[in-house]
Structures are given as C-alpha cells and as structure tokens.
Homo-oligomer: A and B are copies of this chain.
Amino acid sequence: MFGSWQSERAKVYRRLNDIPASWGTAVNVQAMVFGNMGDTSATGVAFTRDPSKGDRAYYGEFLINAQGEDVVAGIRTPQYLTRAAREEAGAKPLSMEEAMPEVYGELARVFDTLETHYRDMQDIEFTVEKAKLWMLQTRSGKRTAKAALKIAVDMANEGLITEEEAVARVDPAALDQLLHPTLDPQAKRDVIAKGLPASPGAASGKAVFDADTAEKRNAAGEAVILIRTETSPEDIHGMHAARGILTARGGMTSHAAVVARGMGRPCVSGAGSIAISAKDKVMRVGGREIREGDVLTIDGATGEVMAGEVATVQPELAGDFATLMVWADKVRRLKVRANAETPLDCKTAREFGAEGVGLCRTEHMFFDAGRITAVRQMILASDEKGRRAALDRLLPEQRSDFAEIFTVMAGLPVTIRLLDPPLHEFLPHEEAEFAEVAQAAGIDVDTLKRRANELHEFNPMLGHRGCRLGVTYPEIYEMQARAIFEAALDVAAESGAAPIPEVMIPLVATKRELDLMKAVVDRAAQAVFAERGTEVEYLVGTMIELPRAALMAGEIAETGEFFSFGTNDLTQTTLGVSRDDAARFLGAYVEQGIYPKDPFVSLDVEGVGELVRLAAERGRATRPDIKLGICGEHGGDPASIGFCEQVGLDYVSASPYRVPIARLAAAQAALKAR
C-alpha cells in the first residue's frame, strides 16, 4: 500500500498545474505553498476511509517540515495521521492529530466536506505552510474489492448515496475475489511457474498426477492438488476430490477451466513451462521437481503456482455482501440461473441466489464408475436391441440423478441438456486400458479397438455429437427423457413442489432436427404420464450454438419453446477457433489487438453478438413469448451480461460461484439501460 501511495503521489505533484479551482478550499496555482518552512509546516496524503478494508476512519500519513518530494523520495518515514492508527501500529512519532491538533481538526472538517460533496471516498493531498492548511488535490480513491463493498453499503446506509448507486459502485468482476479463499497477502510465496488464472481461489495440497490417486488420498483426509497435462471427462472424480487443479495445457475455457469454475475449484491452466510425466508421477519446471506428495499452492486468481503451502484467507459471504445482493436483486430485470449438474452444485447455486438451473449437462453422469461399463456396452452394441438393453440398466441411475437435482431445485426451472459429447469420449484412449475395459464390457479387445478406431474423429467438436447422436440413436434421448419425467413425477409426488423440466436438445442446426428430437421427448413424456396417470409441465427447446441455428432461428422457434445461447460453441464455430487449442495463438491475438479480450471469456459482441441478436429477433418474431437465455461461460461475465440485457434475454446462467457476480452485473446492466 505504502509504495503505491508514494508513486501515486509522485504523479500528483507532477500534475499540480492540472488541478481545477472549483474545490471547497481554494488552491493558489500561482504561488507555490511550502511544507518545509519549519515545524509548523507539513505535507501529507490521506483517504477519507480505509481504502484497504473500507472502515470509516481517516487513513493517511504526513511529514513535518517536508515537501511532497521528500515523502516520494522515501528518505524519511512518514508519520500516521490519526492517534488511533499510531497506537494500533505501536509507533512512537506523534500522529498529526496529536502534533497539530488544530490544523488536523480543520483537515478533518475538509475531509467530511469533500466526501459529502463528491459522495465518495476521497484520496487527498495537502500541505501545511506555517500552520495554514492548503488542499492540493482531491479525487475518488482507489480501493480493494473488500473496501469497495463495505464503503458502498456504508454510504448507502449513511444516506450519502442511494442503494442503486451502491449497486453501481462495486465492480462485479472484483467481487469474484470475495467469494473464494485468497492467499494471505503477508505470506511468502515461492513462485515456480505461471499459467492462466482459470478459476479463482487459492488452494494448497499434495501433488497428485491422476484422478484415482486424488480420490484415494482425499478419502484418506489429505488435501490434494490434481496436476494433469490436460483434463478430460474421465478426470471429473479426481477434480471433485482435489482442492485445486493445475494443467500444463489448455486455455481459459479448456475442459479443466470450465469444469473447475463450475465446481468452484481453484484452477491454473496452461502453465506451459511445466513438463508433466503422469507415468513417473513428477512435474518438472525450471530445473525443479515436484513429486507425488510434495506440497504446492496454486492461486487461480493470478495463475501463480508456488512450491510449499501458502496461508489463505477465507471469504465472508454474510453482512455487506448479502445486503448488496438484496439491493441488486431489486434492480435487475435479467433472471440469474446456474450451470449445475450435481446436487452439490445445485445447493451451492441456490445458496448464491440462483433462480433455476440454466444448464444441467448430462454427460458427467455417464462417466460415473458404476455406470461407465453400461455406457460402453451401449456404445459397443451392434444393434438397437443391444443398445436398449444397456440403456435399460442406465435408466434408474439417470432417474435418480434427476430426482436429486429436482429435489434441490424444487419449484424452479431446470434446463437439462440431453447427451452431447461424441461417443468416443467414453471409450478408453490408452493402450493399457483396453484389456480391462474389454473384459468389463464382455467383448474382445480387437472388437473394442476396432470400434474405438471407427469412432475416432479428426475434429470431434464438429463431429457426431449433440442431437446428431439423438438422430442416429434416438433410444439414448428416449431413455434420458423418460428418466427426466419419471423423476419429475416422483419429486412432485414426494415434495408437492413440481420441478419444471426444460428439455434442451443440443447442437441443432435445422428445424427438422428439433422436430425429430422433440417428437422423441414428447412420446416419452406421454408414455410416462399415461403410466403414472399424472403430468408435469415441461418445455422442449434447443441450444443456439451453431451459426446456422442463429440464422434459422425464426424457423426453429416454430418448434422450440426456448432458446439457450450456447455461446462457448457459438464462439468456436463463428470465429473458427477451438477453445482447447486456442491457447497457442490467442495470447498473441489479444496482444496484437485482434480481439480486445479473450472471446471465450468476454463475448465477441460484434461477431457472435450479432448472431445472438439476430436469433433473438427472429425467434421472437415467430414466437413472441419464447424464453431466451444464455448458458455459455459468458453468462458469468459482466460485460457479456450487459450485452444480454441490451438484447433483452430473459436470463443468464453462470457457474454456481459466479451467480452473485451475475446478479450484480445484471443489476448494473439494468441501471445502465434506464
């Protein structure tokens, strides 16, 4: 804090001639004032509140018989402004309050005048020349996220600003710092590598190099950090078990980053200087080695990787934070949902104020150790009969997945995306796994390998996935739809609060795809309703995640009852950029001004945004009450939320830990729109 004040002040002195003359205390620009004219002269800098913690107490330092330059030069140690601060610090040199009580009294009155006038915490420069106070400059002061929150809420409570102004004053992105454990700023850090700040929060733990070990050690009560070259859906259980995730490859929206943010796990991704050998259970970086069991710390807010344990500070979610959220909710128009796929995610999301689930992916449910064999048997079956036999074994599991989620989200809408990834993601990739998997699935290794090879894709992102699976294997979506409706009826009967399932068909590019898939879902619904003799309300809609879907939105809305903009994939296809591979050039792209920000973090409003706007217009032209939301990563990004407000979407959906950020950003967007 101190060093930065000094450099700030250096700038201030150099800019003296720029100061306007309209302040409460006049400034004489012609005649220089001098703080070095003896012991009744002084110079100093102050904040009207604590810029670090936000407390309502004057905060600053001064030097007797000195000019600003002396303070900047750092030759003499400045003294505290107030007696309280001096005493708290246990310092001897008298505070200004004690050394110059009269001038200090005048200064304090000026502080109050300026803060009241500017209605914000002021950062003030002053000089005392022979016991006469001269104000050199005042301006709104910089502050930490924590102070910003406290000052905004305090000032609204004091009546200095309105609640809405308080809402407008806190940077939603900065709020992220407050929702996660952070590194103790006092602690020493032994930084060994730097990657991307992929998911905020800090975590320490023992290094592990595979998901199974992460799970095992976590079960034994050890804190672990999972280290992978890159993660895949098969690592999910290990990511759940770990305190944090570190990868050598992948960008801000790589699998590791997206999943970690969804889970609220700190994550550093794409730490390119690290060489990882999972086989030898070691990572090497800058001549150093971290082996399994060695402790390390990651800071997902900065991307730093540190050897050893670094102390962390826990977040506070009550108090001012809760107050500001209430005020934000009064203002916003956009609903805020969460991307959540486990009961735990859903609980977290509700605690953070989510008003529904905007994206419940179902693929992770297929990776569960107890089910993956049935999933593989389904994939490896040679005909529909074989696939149906395997799907029958998965049905009760899927039903219980949805029942748990519906129970947590009772009474709220839950958008469930039917199976999306290409089937090869569920088959083994490593030679070592084939024998075991073949045995478990009851087929020979050659058949397994042949099938895996057949399913291999050059560009899986553009492959046989999404509704294309549903078109070629409708029985998969049929099973999922049945599980959804059976679970919804079970929960409605049990809790009395029926969930509102919104069944979402992924990767639609044509109306006909949605027609075919809606028919499958509707048939399953009618069958279940007939068997049970009762019904639940439900919607069938689609993700708009391909440029063609956006262009054809008018036609697609004839069938689709809602659109959820899948802006991750829409960004990939509109820009022609694979987010798993983009790390290699996206940095250079942002540096050279080709994109102002990483387009996977903040929506490319010009390009992708035009498609969203166009799809919203065309969809509404066909179906005026169509429900419109966004479920890409952008749903948690304040700038992108501002765009969603402009386009008039109904809701944004963000990962659970970003729900408060989205609530605040939505409120600010609504204020801006007025």
**Within the assembled complex, what's the spacing in Å between the Cα atoms of A512 and B595?**
9
Partner of A581, one of B463, B592, B594: B463
Interface flags, A444-468, vs B, CB<8A=1, else 0: 0000000000000111111110001
**Within the assembled complex, what's the spacing in Å between the Cα atoms of A464 and B580?**
11
User: Is residue A292 within 8 Å, beta carbon to beta carbon, of the partner chain?
Assistant: no
Partner of A510, one of B463, B471, B573, B594: B594
Asked whether B546 lies within 8 Å of A575 as measured between CB atoms, the reply is yes
Given the complex, which residues of B lie within 8 Å of A457, measured CB to CB?
578, 580-581
Asked whether B575 lies within 8 Å of A606 as measured between CB atoms, the reply is no
Question: A residues 574-606 with Cβ under 8 Å of B?
Answer: 574-578, 580-581, 584-585, 588-589, 592-595, 604, 606
User: Is residue A186 within 8 Å, beta carbon to beta carbon, of the partner chain?
Assistant: no
**Within the assembled complex, what's the spacing in Å between the Cα atoms of A464 and B582?**
7
Partner of A547, one of B472, B573, B592: B573
- From A462, A588, A606, name the one whose CB has the most chain B CB atoms within 10 angstroms: A462
**Within the assembled complex, what's the spacing in Å between the Cα atoms of A452 and B5?**
49
Given the complex, which residues of B lie within 8 Å of A546, measured CB to CB?
574-576
Q: How far is the CB of A254 from chain B (nearest CB, A)?
A: 10
Interface flags, A549-575, vs B, CB<8A=1, else 0: 001100000000000000001001111
Asked whether A551 lies within 8 Å of B607 as measured between CB atoms, the reply is yes
- Report 25 cross-chain contacts, Cβ distance below 8 Å, ordered by A residue: A457-B580, A457-B581, A458-B461, A459-B459, A459-B460, A459-B580, A461-B461, A461-B576, A462-B462, A462-B573, A462-B577, A463-B581, A472-B584, A509-B576, A509-B607, A512-B594, A516-B592, A545-B576, A546-B574, A547-B547, A547-B576, A547-B607, A548-B574, A548-B604, A552-B606
Given the complex, which residues of B lie within 8 Å of A592, measured CB to CB?
471, 512, 516
Residue of B nearest to A576 (CB): B546
A607-B463 contact given A574-B546, A576-B569, CB 8 Å threshold: no
**Within the assembled complex, what's the spacing in Å between the Cα atoms of A575 and B607?**
16
Given the complex, which residues of B lie within 8 Å of A585, measured CB to CB?
464, 468, 471-472
User: Is residue A223 within 8 Å, beta carbon to beta carbon, of the partner chain?
Assistant: no
Given the complex, which residues of B lie within 8 Å of A548, measured CB to CB?
574-576, 604, 607-608
**Within the assembled complex, what's the spacing in Å between the Cα atoms of A547 and B578?**
14
User: Is residue A309 within 8 Å, beta carbon to beta carbon, of the partner chain?
Assistant: no
A547-B569 contact given A464-B585, A585-B468, CB 8 Å threshold: no
User: Is residue A259 within 8 Å, beta carbon to beta carbon, of the partner chain?
Assistant: no
Asked whether B464 lies within 8 Å of A462 as measured between CB atoms, the reply is no
- From A458, A516, A572, A573, name the one whose CB has the most chain B CB atoms within 10 angstroms: A458
Interface flags, A470-508, vs B, CB<8A=1, else 0: 011000000000000000000000000000000000010
* Number of identical protomers: 2
Interface flags, A512-547, vs B, CB<8A=1, else 0: 110010000000000000000000000000000111
User: Is residue A183 within 8 Å, beta carbon to beta carbon, of the partner chain?
Assistant: no
A581-B462 contact given A472-B588, A507-B576, CB 8 Å threshold: yes
Partner of A458, one of B509, B574, B581: B581
Given the complex, which residues of B lie within 8 Å of A462, measured CB to CB?
459, 461-462, 572-573, 576-578, 581
Q: How far is the CB of A552 from chain B (nearest CB, A)?
A: 6
Asked whether B581 lies within 8 Å of A551 as measured between CB atoms, the reply is no
**Within the assembled complex, what's the spacing in Å between the Cα atoms of A288 and B464?**
31
Given the complex, which residues of B lie within 8 Å of A507, measured CB to CB?
576
**Within the assembled complex, what's the spacing in Å between the Cα atoms of A610 and B578?**
24
Asked whether B578 lies within 8 Å of A510 as measured between CB atoms, the reply is no
Given the complex, which residues of B lie within 8 Å of A584, measured CB to CB?
463-464, 472
Given the complex, which residues of B lie within 8 Å of A593, measured CB to CB?
512
Asked whether A607 lies within 8 Å of B576 as measured between CB atoms, the reply is no
**Within the assembled complex, what's the spacing in Å between the Cα atoms of A568 and B594?**
24
Residue of B nearest to A580 (CB): B458
User: Is residue A45 within 8 Å, beta carbon to beta carbon, of the partner chain?
Assistant: no
Q: How far is the CB of A609 from chain B (nearest CB, A)?
A: 9
Asked whether A471 lies within 8 Å of B607 as measured between CB atoms, the reply is no
Q: How far is the CB of A459 from chain B (nearest CB, A)?
A: 4
**Within the assembled complex, what's the spacing in Å between the Cα atoms of A17 and B636?**
70
User: Is residue A611 within 8 Å, beta carbon to beta carbon, of the partner chain?
Assistant: yes
**Within the assembled complex, what's the spacing in Å between the Cα atoms of A593 and B509?**
13
**Within the assembled complex, what's the spacing in Å between the Cα atoms of A552 and B609?**
12
For the complex with contacts A471-B594, A547-B607, A551-B610, 10 further pairs of A-B residues with Cβ separation under 8 Å are: A458-B460, A461-B578, A462-B462, A463-B578, A463-B581, A471-B592, A510-B595, A512-B592, A548-B574, A548-B575
Given the complex, which residues of B lie within 8 Å of A463, measured CB to CB?
578, 581, 584
**Within the assembled complex, what's the spacing in Å between the Cα atoms of A569 and B546?**
14
Given the complex, which residues of B lie within 8 Å of A594, measured CB to CB?
471, 510, 512-513, 516
Asked whether A459 lies within 8 Å of B575 as measured between CB atoms, the reply is no
Q: How far is the CB of A429 from chain B (nearest CB, A)?
A: 12
A578-B516 contact given A464-B585, A610-B551, CB 8 Å threshold: no
Given the complex, which residues of B lie within 8 Å of A509, measured CB to CB?
575-577, 607
Residue of B nearest to A453 (CB): B229
Asked whether A471 lies within 8 Å of B551 as measured between CB atoms, the reply is no
Residue of B nearest to A516 (CB): B592
Question: A residues 347-384 with Cβ under 8 Å of B?
Answer: none
Given the complex, which residues of B lie within 8 Å of A468, measured CB to CB?
585, 589
Given the complex, which residues of B lie within 8 Å of A608, measured CB to CB?
548
Asked whether A471 lies within 8 Å of B573 as measured between CB atoms, the reply is no
Ordered nearest first, which 7 A-B pairs have the shortest CB separation?
A462-B578, A459-B578, A548-B607, A547-B547, A546-B576, A459-B461, A458-B580
**Within the assembled complex, what's the spacing in Å between the Cα atoms of A577 and B457?**
11
